[in-house]
Amino acid sequence: MNQPGFIESQQNEIVSINQKLKGIKWACLGMAVYTGFSVNGISYADEAGPDYLREDDIRSPLEAAFEEPPVLKDQHWELHLRSYFLDRNTDQEADKQALATGGWLTWKSGYWWDLVQFSATAYTSQKVVGDRNKDGTGLLQDGQKSYGGFSSIYANVKLGERSTLRLGRFEMNIPYINKHDIRMIPNSFQGAYFVHNFSEKLDFGGAYITRIKDRTSTDFEEAYDRAGINGDDAIRVAGARYDDNAGHDGGVFGYYAPDALGMIYGEYNHHIDLNDDSAVIISAQYTHQSSVGDELGGDFSGNHYGTKLLWETSEITTTLAYTLYNGDRIRSGWGSVPGYTSVMVKDFNRTGEKAYLLGIDKDLAAWNLPGWNLGTSLTTGNTDDSGADASPDQSEWNLNLKYTFQNGPLNGLSVFFRYVEVNQKNSHVAKDAKDINGFRIITNYNIRF
């Protein structure tokens, strides 16, 4: 479901209207509170594609005299093309299968008076193959129907040199509230968020989320409805990220849904360079959730603990991870679970579940196969065999093969092959085991112009 390293930095490239500042990346989304993140060593459907950079303008006195307004001159378009085939077989359930194609087109303006920037994104997922008897892949709407619409329309407002306010409908990526980009179209959110950069090491942000559009929807529904909560309030989020660029980084996030849920999430990563070609990353994470106020979502309280050891070289990455969930089940109604053992199909976050992961990822360039990457992981999870929280012990094996074109007209196009097997063992109280196997082929191609 995602790549190693918590809350990886994902900055929106913002080009200033002043020619002296052209090419400098502004830090309005540099904070990890709103960066893309992955935590388990297994990739989500990624946004692969070449980094199309505009060439510097060739200036002349005449050209300067007839310069375009900055809001138009600095605008750009980005087209992301994606196709996705998914086939899944589950014991005691109907098979699921579909092939869809589509993606999204984003327009982003320059800054008007160096103050306000506008952006809009249209998306579509079109059926290529989809038997009604094999519905439910998440690539198409119910009934294997194509769909499309606008996923984001927003304005960025600069509040001084270090702060930005975003208003409208947009994507965001923090633990538990994120775009969960594992099908054709990512989640989008409606509301506002604020980011402030205190220094090169410390960032802070806050968000107020009222609605969410999930991956197969054309409408934005109430955030509470999306999480199965009987209410219509908004989610409040605040978080901070620290990175000293010397091996220490981490973040803390607080969430509050009035009369429903309170939550805190934290993670710390320690990087140790062994030599020029090898490093070890030691990570730890923690989640606490509990009901609050009128408990519209029920009475619950739960905790999640995780540790991870990552050994990286230029050719191979090895991951060892452990997670424990105790108390009531951790809720995740607004995005993906950030647990280190959350993989392709299972999150291994059931009540009382202890899970272990071993993963290996290999860059095949060293074998004279540039552009090829091979990865595999095995995750096992154990729960109580009897009692109210009994559920099957389970294991999941993932195999991933990815190829990215290195040159020519298809430079940057990625083709991702994924295979999964889930094996479960009946608990003592029921015949509740459901084995799963499935296959996916995903292509991504990103063009900026």
- When pLDDT is averaged across residues 52-72 and rounded to a whole number, the result is 44
**Cα separation of 346 and 408, whole Å?**
38
- When pLDDT is averaged across residues 404-413 and rounded to a whole number, the result is 92
- When pLDDT is averaged across residues 341-366 and rounded to a whole number, the result is 94
Tokens of 83: 């196709």
pLDDT of 428 higher than 50 = yes
Angle at 403 between CA 399 and CA 405, to 5 degrees: 170
- When pLDDT is averaged across residues 395-409 and rounded to a whole number, the result is 95
The mean pLDDT value of the chain amounts to: 85
- When pLDDT is averaged across residues 311-340 and rounded to a whole number, the result is 93
- When pLDDT is averaged across residues 344-369 and rounded to a whole number, the result is 94
**Cα separation of 380 and 427, whole Å?**
15
- When pLDDT is averaged across residues 39-46 and rounded to a whole number, the result is 29
φ, ψ at 29 (rounded to 5°): -120, 20
Strands (E), 278-404: 278-290, 301-313, 316-327, 354-363, 372-382, 393-404
Q: pLDDT band for position 338 (50/70/90)?
A: very high
Q: What is the pLDDT of residue 430?
A: 73
Q: 261-265, 374-378, 425-429, 433-437: lowest mean pLDDT where?
A: 425-429
How many angstroms from the chain centroid is the CA of residue 135? Answer: 24
Q: pLDDT band for position 33 (50/70/90)?
A: very low
DSSP string of 291-303, one letter each residue: --TT-TT-S-EEE
Q: What is the pLDDT of residue 69?
A: 57
Residues 6+ apart with CB under 8 A from 225: 232
Q: Assign 71 to helix, strand or coil.
A: helix
- When pLDDT is averaged across residues 197-206 and rounded to a whole number, the result is 93
Q: 29-33, 73-77, 169-173: lowest mean pLDDT where?
A: 29-33
Higher pLDDT: 33 or 284? It is 284
Q: What predicted TM-score, i.e. pTM, was given to this entire model?
A: 0.82
For 37, other C-beta atoms within 10 Å of its C-beta total 23
**Cα separation of 395 and 353, whole Å?**
12
pLDDT of 280 higher than 80 = yes
pLDDT digits (tens, 9 = 90+) for 95-129: 999 999 999 999 999 998 889 999 999 999 999 99
Q: pLDDT band for position 390 (50/70/90)?
A: confident
Q: What is the pLDDT of residue 384?
A: 82
| Structural domains of the chain, ranges and CATH numbers in brackets | 19-448 (2.40.160.10)
pLDDT digits (tens, 9 = 90+) for 163-187: 999 999 999 989 999 999 999 999 9
Residues 6+ apart with CB under 8 A from 367: none
φ, ψ at 415 (rounded to 5°): -125, 125
Listed in sequence order, the DSSP H helices in 334-415 are: none
Q: What is the pLDDT of residue 53?
A: 24
Tokens of 231: 């209410």
pLDDT of 328 higher than 80 = yes
pLDDT of 298 higher than 70 = yes
Residue 153 gets the label, from left (phi > 0), alpha (psi -120 to 50) or beta, of beta
Higher pLDDT: 303 or 16? It is 303
Amino acid at 118: F
